Structure 1
Amino acid sequence: MPGLIFDCDGVLADTERDGHLPAFNQTFEEFGLPVRWSDAEYAEKLKVGGGKERMRTLLTPDFVAAAGLPTDQEALDEQVARWHRRKTEIYTGIIRDGDIPPRPGVRRVAEEAHEAGWTLAVASTSAEPSVRSVLELAMGPELTAGFSVFAGDVVQRKKPAPDIYAFAVDRLSLDPEHAVVIEDSRNGLLAALGAGLTCAVTTSAYTGEEDFTGASLVVTSLGDPAPREVPARVLSDPLGARPGRWVVLADLAALLTASAGPASRTD
């Protein structure tokens, strides 16, 4: 049976600018840290997979001294873990407030996949509580129950390493040739491709200018007919899927067929 694996942030909801960034900055303020990330600075931080990993980029000798942080590595790791736990609490509160809407089409396509018997999952480098809060926001509690969630530190290496997707495919007993990933970033695309998976991209707030070479389809969103029609604008369609005004499950299934076609030829 095929599988459909969603990334979380930027795919289920466009959470980075209005969710993660303010949560990081509020955390820094609460802990008295001498840093506030601007929008442009955070766009650069997104090249680093994982929230704790982004926080660790701060830990230059000058920053550690200015913030009065311990220099012992174990104590410093514990401090970062404290920051990240608090940041996760703040972030999940933002999501619960409901101010960040799901991205167009994600629930519609997931419902199609569920009804067709596809395996559903989310694979993300974000903390699991954060991922589950966004998943329920996007899918609702009933559909969420049909998802497997792979998140946070379940693997050591974060995207663009393929580990999270390789782990998910193994745990789900999926054939990589029969699984589609929906991503929004180059790091996520590289992770999916590295695990041997077909990847469609829906660009998000920070990723529209990234290089998506290797993606089987790149669109502005999956699109939705209702309640407010949001068309999916195709940015790249190397396999000739030719989706309509919104991407449907049949389009994603066609990507699997087209991806497998050339590899299976013997002439």
Structure 2
Amino acid sequence: MPALVFDCDGVLADTERDGHLPAFNRTFEEFGLPVRWSDEEYAEKVRIGGGKERMRTLLTPEFVAAAGLPSDPAALDEQVAAWHRRKTEIYTAIIGSGSIPPRPGVRRVATAAHEAGWTLAVASTSAEASVRSVLELAMGRELTPHFSVFAGDVVQRKKPAPDIYTFALHRLGLDPAHAVVIEDSRNGLLSALGAGLACVVTTSAYTGQEDFTGASLVVTSLGDPPPEETVAQVLSDPLGTDPGPYVELADLAGLLTAADGGDTDPVPSDPRPH
């Protein structure tokens, strides 16, 4: 059976600007750190996979001295881990408040995939608690238990390395040729491609201008029909998928067939309305 694997941040919900950024800055404030990331600064930080890794970019000798931090590397690692634990608590509270909506189409397409017997998973380098909070927000309590979650430090190398996807494929016993990934960033795309996976990109708040060469399809979102209508605008369609105003599971199934040269049996999908 085929599989549909979602990234989390920027894909299930557009969480970076209104979730992660304020959570980082509130953490810095609580710990008395002399830094607050602006929107422009954070737009650069999101290119770094992993929250602890983003925090570690602060640790110049000048910052360590100004913040009164220990110089011992092991002690610094413990400090960063403490910051990150608190940041995760703040972030999950923001998600739990419901102030950040799910992205269009993710629950609709995931529901169709589940009903068609597809394997569902999330693969993210964010902390697992953060990922699970966004997953439940986006998918609801009934669908969430059908997802396998691969997140946080289950792999040492974060995106754009392919490790999180190769790990997920191994654990799920999946053939890369039978899985489609939904990503929102160039780092995520490179990670998926490195694992041999077809990748659809739904651009998000900080990623619209990135290079998505190699993606099977690039859209502004998966889209949703009325009453909460959001039309999926196609930005790149190298395989000629030609989705309608809302990306359907049939479109994703077609990407697997196209990537395999069209020689495989049809991939199960939802009935496509005409």
Q: TM-score range by the shorter chain?
A: over 0.9
Name the amino acid aligned to 2:11.
V
- How far apart are the structure 2 equivalents of 1:141 and 1:227? 22
Aligned partner of 1:43 in structure 2 is 43
Q: The residue matched to 1:75 in structure 2 has which SS? A: helix
| 2:247 corresponds to 1:247 | yes
Q: The residue matched to 1:145 in structure 2 has which SS? A: helix
Name the amino acid aligned to 1:240.
G
Q: Quote how far apart the aligned CAs of 1:226 are.
A: 2.9
Name the amino acid aligned to 1:49.
G
Aligned partner of 1:134 in structure 2 is 134
Q: Size of the alignment, in residue pairs?
A: 264
Aligned partner of 1:226 in structure 2 is 226
Q: Check conservation: 2:219, 2:232, Cα contact below 8 A.
A: yes
Name the amino acid aligned to 2:227.
P
Distance 1:116 1:142, change over 3 A: same
Q: The residue matched to 2:182 in structure 1 has which SS? A: strand
- Runs of at least 4 residues of structure 1 off by over 2 A? none
- How far apart are the structure 2 equivalents of 1:195 and 1:224? 29
Q: Quote how far apart the aligned CAs of 1:199 are.
A: 0.2
- How far apart are the structure 2 equivalents of 1:47 and 1:97? 26
Distance 1:20 1:237, change over 3 A: same
Structure 2 gap ranges (5+): 265-274
Name the amino acid aligned to 2:125.
T
Aligned partner of 2:108 in structure 1 is 108
C-alpha distance after superposition, 1:90-144 (max 9, x if no partner):
0000000000000000000000000000000000010000000000000001100
- How far apart are the structure 1 equivalents of 2:209 and 2:263? 30
Q: The residue matched to 1:48 in structure 2 has which SS? A: coil
Structure 1 gap ranges (5+): none
Q: Check conservation: 2:6, 2:182, Cα contact below 8 A.
A: yes
1:166-185 equivalences in 2 (<5 Å): 166-185=166-185
Aligned partner of 1:94 in structure 2 is 94
TM-score by length of 2: 0.95
TM-score by length of 1: 0.98
Identity of aligned residues (%): 82
**What do you get for the CA RMSD once the two structures are aligned?**
1.0
Q: Quote how far apart the aligned CAs of 1:233 are.
A: 0.3
| 2:119 corresponds to 1:119 | yes
Name the amino acid aligned to 2:71.
T
1:2-17 equivalences in 2 (<5 Å): 2-17=2-17
- How far apart are the structure 1 equivalents of 2:263 and 2:152? 33
